């Protein structure tokens, strides 16, 4: 089996599952309970928080545990919008965000907020100048992803954050779901106020995640209740999930930093090889992209069919974000990058993991050489 859909989700590290199981059995107490089990659970919760804070070089009180990327993005965007609505109603984001950002913004548009969706250039990058030009007196939030989930393009969030430091009224949210453990991002130094992470994208478990909220930044909660997580995310803490998240983050940092060179090499080779093939256009920029994502448009095919055909050979890839893959439309990301047309409709995404090998890449290429001409032939016949 060759799994090249690590941007959709990853297989959990076995150590992470062990941690989950041990925690669920041994430290099942509710961290809010006063008895010994509660107290132990609460202590472990704090240790997990400490451990994560250490890895990300933030303070332990600057992170809120969530159920994953979608919740983190919703909490950050709605949380800031509702906490700051008296100061303004304008939000800036980009046209290439994940659906959990785009659709949250669209929802806010129905509720009295104005949203600017910034364009990207042909390489998929948003520009600092565009952010500057779009910002106005009423702007309260800028939300820009770090690594694009379809093309791997790394947005200049550090530069944008640096400029936003001079605009005190504007909060800066970064969706770091695809970048975490793979592309370094220093939260404290980069002018970032809020940052979303999701556990299952780096070999943690589904249903785990966190939102970084810089000390001093106020947001409104989405969930009201027992006041857990500094009153920002009520609900009994998912302790096994949280501890597993901490474990996954630590291991992912180790393993991806070890695999960094190999990933770069694989990516480079794959891009070189694809470029040589007819009717294949690389949508991932050569410079300034994550080491694990390669996006290519294959003319004369439909991505769903290529995916099916590869899947029969036990090679698993995808087209756009899994969250929108079921909709039979062009990729919004590629559409924003190249405009409507075949290129936006035929994008295929290969996302590698720390354990992807040279052989995996070779087999992928061989399989493509087999299935793509066949699909093209069938399509032509029909036409």
**Binding piece for other proteins, criterion CB under 8 A, among 34-42, 106-114, 116-124, 132-140:** 34-42
Q: CB atoms < 10 A from the CB of 10, how many?
A: 21
Q: At its nearest, how many Å lie between other proteins and the CB of residue 15?
A: 9
Phi-psi region of 353 (alpha: psi -120 to 50; beta: other; left: phi over 0): beta
Per CB under 8 A, the segment of 18-26, 194-202, 283-291, 357-365 that binds other proteins is 18-26
* Residue 356 contacts residue 266 (beta carbons within 8 Å): yes
Interacting span for other proteins (CB under 8 A) from 16-24, 170-178, 204-212, 291-299: 16-24
Q: Which residues pair with 154 in a beta bridge?
A: 147
Active site residue 323: yes
d(CA 239, CA 229): 12
Q: Which of 323, 325, 365, 375 is catalytic?
A: 323
Q: If DSSP states are collapsed to H, E and C, what string results for 197-211?
A: EEHHHHCCCCCCEEE
Compose the 49-68 pattern: x for residues touching other proteins by CB under 8 A, - for all others: -xx-------xxx-------
Interface stretch with other proteins, choices 41-49, 187-195, 329-337, 344-352 (CB under 8 A):
41-49
Q: Is 217 in the site for other proteins (CB under 8 A)?
A: no
Nearest to 248 by CA among 13, 8, 22, 9: 13
Which listed residue (7, 10, 19, 284) binds other proteins by CB under 8 A?
A: 19
Residue from 42, 130, 345, 360 that binds other proteins (CB under 8 A)?
Answer: 42
Regarding 222 and contact with other proteins (CB under 8 A), the answer is no
Tokens (6 digits) for 277: 């093939």
User: Given the rule CB under 8 A, which of 83-91, 149-157, 206-214, 244-252 is the region that contacts other proteins?
Assistant: 244-252
Residue 208 in the binding site for other proteins (CB under 8 A): no
Our finding on whether 165 is near other proteins (CB under 8 A) is no
Helix axes 303-312, 358-382, angle to 10 degrees: 130
* 78 forms part of the interface with other proteins (CB under 8 A): no
Nearer to other proteins, 163 or 350 (CB): 163
Q: If you search the block for the tokens 């890895």, which residue do you land on?
A: 55
Q: Interface with other proteins includes 203 (CB under 8 A)?
A: no
Pairing of strands 209-213, 194-198: antiparallel
Backbone angles phi, psi at 303, to 5 degrees: -55, -40
Binding mask 247-286 for other proteins (x = CB under 8 A): x--x------------------------------------
Please, where are the H alpha helices in the chain? 14-26, 36-56, 69-83, 99-109, 128-134, 157-164, 239-276, 303-312, 332-338, 342-345, 358-382
250 vs 349, beta carbon nearer other proteins: 250
Specify the pairing of strand 280-282 against strand 209-213: unpaired
Indicate the residue among 96 and 181 with the shorter CB distance to other proteins. 181
102 burial level (CB within 10 Å; 0-12, 13-18, 19+): buried
Residue 224: CB minimum distance to other proteins, A: 20
Among 10, 23, 89, 196, binds other proteins (CB under 8 A): 23
The residue to which tokens 């200049």 are assigned: 156
Question: Residues in the site for other proteins, rule: CB under 8 A?
Answer: 19, 22-23, 34, 36, 39, 42-44, 46-48, 50-51, 59-61, 243, 246-247, 250
Residues labelled catalytic: 323
């Amino acid at each position: 089996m060759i799994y090249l859909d690590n941007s959709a989700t990853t297989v959990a590290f076995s150590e992470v599952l062990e941690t989950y199981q041990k925690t669920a059995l041994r430290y099942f107490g509710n961290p809010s309970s006063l008895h010994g089990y509660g107290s132990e659970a609460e202590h472990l919760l704090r240790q997990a928080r400490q451990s994560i804070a250490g890895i990300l070089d933030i303070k332990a009180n600057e992170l809120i545990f969530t159920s994953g990327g979608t919740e983190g993005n919703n909490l950050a965007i709605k949380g800031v919008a509702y906490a700051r609505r008296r100061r303004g109603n304008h939000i800036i984001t980009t046209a290439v965000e994940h659906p959990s950002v785009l659709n949250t913004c669209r929802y806010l548009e129905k509720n009295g907020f104005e949203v600017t969706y910034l364009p990207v250039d042909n390489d998929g990058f948003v520009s600092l100048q565009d952010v500057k030009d779009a910002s106005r007196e009423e702007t309260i939030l800028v939300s820009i992803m770090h690594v694009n989930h379809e093309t791997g393009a790394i947005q200049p969030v550090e530069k944008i954050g640096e400029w936003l430091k001079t605009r005190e009224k504007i909060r800066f949210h970064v969706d770091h779901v695809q970048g975490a453990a793979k592309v370094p991002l220093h939260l404290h130094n980069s002018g970032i106020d809020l940052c979303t992470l999701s556990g299952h994208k780096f070999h943690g478990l589904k249903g785990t995640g966190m939102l970084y909220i810089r000390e001093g930044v106020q947001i409104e909660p989405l969930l009201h209740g027992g006041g857990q997580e500094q009153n920002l995310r009520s609900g009994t803490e998912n302790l096994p999930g949280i501890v597993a998240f901490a474990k996954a983050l630590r291991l992912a940092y180790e393993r991806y930093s070890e695999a960094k060179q190999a990933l770069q090499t694989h990516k480079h080779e794959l891009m070189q090889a694809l470029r040589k093939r007819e009717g294949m256009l690389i949508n991932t920029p050569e410079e300034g992209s994550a080491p694990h994502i390669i996006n290519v448009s294959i003319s004369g095919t439909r991505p769903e069919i290529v995916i099916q055909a590869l899947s029969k050979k036990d090679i698993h890839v995808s087209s756009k974000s899994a969250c929108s893959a079921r909709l039979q439309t062009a990729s919004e990301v590629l559409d924003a990058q190249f405009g409507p047309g075949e290129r936006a409709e035929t994008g295929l995404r290969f996302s590698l993991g720390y354990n992807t090998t040279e052989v995996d890449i070779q087999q992928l290429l061989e399989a493509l050489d087999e299935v793509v001409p066949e699909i093209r032939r069938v399509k032509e016949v029909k036409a």
